Amino acid sequence: MASAGDSAMDATLQATSDLQALRSSAPVSPFGLIARARSDAERLKTVLESYGYYQSSVTIKINGTALSNAGLGSVLSALPKGSDARVAISFNLGPLYHLRHVTIDGDIPESTRSAVRLAEGSTAAAAAVLAGGARLLTALQERGYAFAKVDAPVAYEDQTQPVLDVSFHAVAGARVNIGEIRIVGLKRVHEKLVRARLLLHTGEQFSPKAIEQARHDLLTLGVFATVSVQVGTAADSSGGVPITFDIRERPRHGVSINAAYSSDLGGSGGVTWTDRDVFGGAQQLSLSASVLNLGGSATTGLGYDTSAKYIMPDFGRRDQSLQLAVTAIKQSLEAYDQTAVMTGVTLNRKLSSIWTASVGVSTAVEQIIQESKRYDYLLYSLPLSVSLDSTHLISPLDDPLHGMRASLSVTPTRSIGPPNATFIITQVKVAGYLDLHALGLTEPGRSVLAARALAGVAQGASEFSLPPDQRFYGGGSGTIRGYNYQTVGPVFPDDTPKGGTAIVAGGLEFRQRFGTNFGAAVFVDAGQVSASLKPLPDVSRVGVGAGIRYYTPIGPIRLDIAVPTRYYPANYSPFVVYIGLGQAF
């Protein structure tokens, strides 16, 4: 198939052509091929017209013979058995049509007419014209005209020049409000919870956007598999339009399995059991258990991580939840061995569609062994955080293509040792994503540039006053790939990681998809751990690497290999392998 001179149009033509799509998977007889080609000619002509080329033509030749040649069937039948016919498709675009006049007739509010947004002189692409009509209908409905109608546009062609006059006929009808709100399909979940969750109320002006937002809000509770909306076809006696939310609940119990591997931390795997609706109010109980440090060059023994979490949604007010958590963890790392039991109570509040804040109280009773010395600690903390997520993704495993994720956490902590210490740990994390389609360089979602940055500092206590697990360490998938976990930063004389009181790290990654399921990435990470926070560290550690991706419905499976570019302790491997579900950040 020849190029039409526009990459977007070429892609549409390729996707429309049965000759292209079925050439290997569904071969046909000579006369079947002719029929397929004739059908293609009509479809491809429609594609060209949709881009504004209304005087275009499509030419298809099979083995050099025009499709219109009456003897084409005999030519193809005479081909030796097993040989393939050669099909050539070319295009004559003709002039590109533009819009001359755009008119709207009908009894509608003047304020809605501008919603068409079709400028006179712009390209007369069919998709753009149809989208203008859809925007007009949406504008009418958002102003309360639930039963407004916008007819299909009528186009008039000028016989002397390549221009079109387009006319829309619209009828607003009566303005209406939201009528009775019905909720059907509930089994275990209390209807009182659903109605308290809804921001849609009877008597408010009809708005499709508000209805869709209400539907989305119900899904965020996590207990519903689907929420569909049925809008009444006529206003009731009060002048309101009845709205019905048809809900299907998710299974009450769920089990998930997780696994990951990196050559520094070794393998890990676990299981989580969840009760999504403990008492009918969408309360969630999760019990999880994982095995950690199955091998790995930065570990010295097997570990575990077990936890119980209970979440109460809409605690005290809408968009506010309370989480109670108990965690028991054991880690055997090159930096230290840790055995701890932690408890926490956290109040989370959703400030907007992208902003969230939390405040909590937590305790930890832990035993840590570092450099053959045992330390017993009791920690009391008041973690505070605010976070931003404009990626608009439901799951953290989904592949981010645009937007930003950022967080600021401040954690005042009292540590009862010895030594006793009072300190504040502050961390800032930022990750941004740019789809290169926004720059006109690639197809949507195919090429993404991702960047991240991390800065943290512990104030109020010296390096050795901080419990070892509260210090900063660099290296690993969360900071500087290519360096073993916790190996970047201050070390003891025997090269055992000591940890520091400040960290600065960042990374840049280019992600490219191939075909439907495969992709690749190249990346560079850099950073340093030290005794004070510096925007530009005196000595940086840089790691570079590449990886492959296999995209699944639940997220990309990631395999990365990274190497350090500077000094590396002799007792660590010269490269690190990372395997996991979801992108690195």
Q: pLDDT of 552-572, one tens digit each? A: 998 999 999 999 997 666 666
Most confident of 114-118, 396-400, 430-434: 430-434
Give pLDDT, residue 340.
Answer: 98
Residues 215-267: pLDDT tens digits?
Answer: 999 998 999 999 999 999 998 888 899 999 999 999 999 999 999 999 999 99
- Residue 1 scores a pLDDT above 90: no
CA dist., res. 122 & res. 379, Å (int): 66
Burial of 440 (0-12, 13-18, 19+ CB in 10 A): exposed
Phi, psi of 523 (to 5 degrees): -150, 160
Give pLDDT, residue 536.
Answer: 63
Mean pLDDT of 25-35: 77
Q: Is the dihedral of CA 394, 398, 401, 402 positive or negative?
A: positive
Mean pLDDT of 435-463: 93
Closest CA to 96 of 30, 6, 209: 6
Mean pLDDT of 284-309: 95
Give pLDDT, residue 440.
Answer: 85
Q: Enter the DSSP assignment of 112.
A: G
Do 239 and 350 lie in one domain? The reply is no
Burial of 502 (0-12, 13-18, 19+ CB in 10 A): buried
Give pLDDT, residue 20.
Answer: 78
Of 534 and 465, the structure prediction assigns the larger pLDDT to 465
- Tokens representing 141 are 């409905």
Do 192 and 124 lie in one domain? The reply is no
Do 403 and 505 lie in one domain? The reply is yes
Give pLDDT, residue 61.
Answer: 86
Residues 185-218: pLDDT tens digits?
Answer: 999 999 999 999 998 999 999 999 999 999 999 9
User: Is 277 inside a domain boundary?
Assistant: yes
Counted domains in the chain? 4
Of 167 and 31, the structure prediction assigns the larger pLDDT to 167
Asked whether 505 and 479 are in contact (CB, 8 A), the reply is yes
Q: Which of 171, 203, 229 is the last residue of a domain?
A: 171
Residues 348-407: pLDDT tens digits?
Answer: 999 998 999 999 999 999 999 999 999 999 999 999 999 999 998 988 889 999 999 999
- Tokens representing 145 are 């005209």
User: Is 480 inside a domain boundary?
Assistant: yes
* CATH assignment at residue 229: 3.10.20.310
Per residue, the 3-state secondary structure of 395-437, as one string, reads CCCCCCCCEEEEEEEEEEEEEECCCCEEEEEEEEEEEEEEEHH
The mean-pLDDT minimum among 62-66, 127-131, 389-393, 416-420 falls in: 62-66
Closest CA to 144 of 59, 203, 67: 203
Mean pLDDT of 269-280: 96
Give pLDDT, residue 568.
Answer: 62
From residue 276, give the alpha-carbon distance in Å to each of 221, 255, 347. 10, 11, 19
Do 471 and 382 lie in one domain? The reply is yes
Question: What own/partner pairs with CB < 8 Å and gap ≥ 24 does 250-254 have?
Answer: 250/222, 250/223, 250/224, 250/225, 250/276, 251/276, 252/188, 252/276, 252/277
User: Is 136 inside a domain boundary?
Assistant: yes
Mean pLDDT of 117-122: 91
Give pLDDT, residue 567.
Answer: 64
pLDDT above 90 as % of the chain: 70
Mean pLDDT of 17-36: 78
Chain-wide mean pLDDT for the chain? 91
Domain range holding 244? Answer: 177-249
Q: How confident is the model at residue 269 (pLDDT cuts 50, 70, 90)?
A: very high
Per residue, the 3-state secondary structure of 432-482, as one string, reads EEEEHHHHCCCCCCCEEEEEEEEEEEEECCCCCCCCHHHCECECCCCCCCC
Do 75 and 137 lie in one domain? The reply is no
Burial of 62 (0-12, 13-18, 19+ CB in 10 A): buried
User: Is 440 inside a domain boundary?
Assistant: yes
Question: What own/partner pairs with CB < 8 Å and gap ≥ 24 does 557-565 have?
Answer: 557/581, 558/582, 558/583, 558/584, 560/477, 560/481, 560/521, 560/523, 560/584, 562/481, 562/482, 562/523, 562/525, 563/482, 564/482, 564/483, 565/482, 565/541
Do 503 and 568 lie in one domain? The reply is yes
- Residue 480 scores a pLDDT above 70: yes
Mean pLDDT of 466-482: 94
Do 263 and 395 lie in one domain? The reply is yes
Amino acid identity of residue 441, one-letter, is L
Amino acid identity of residue 237, one-letter, is S
User: Is 2 inside a domain boundary?
Assistant: no
From residue 40, give the alpha-carbon distance in Å to each of 6, 390, 541. 19, 42, 58
Mean pLDDT of 432-439: 94
Q: Is 389 helix (H, G, I), strand (E, B) or coil?
A: strand
Q: Which of 92, 120, 135 is the last residue of a domain?
A: 92
Q: In the chain, what is the straight-line distance between the N-terminal and C-terminal CA atoms, in Å?
A: 40
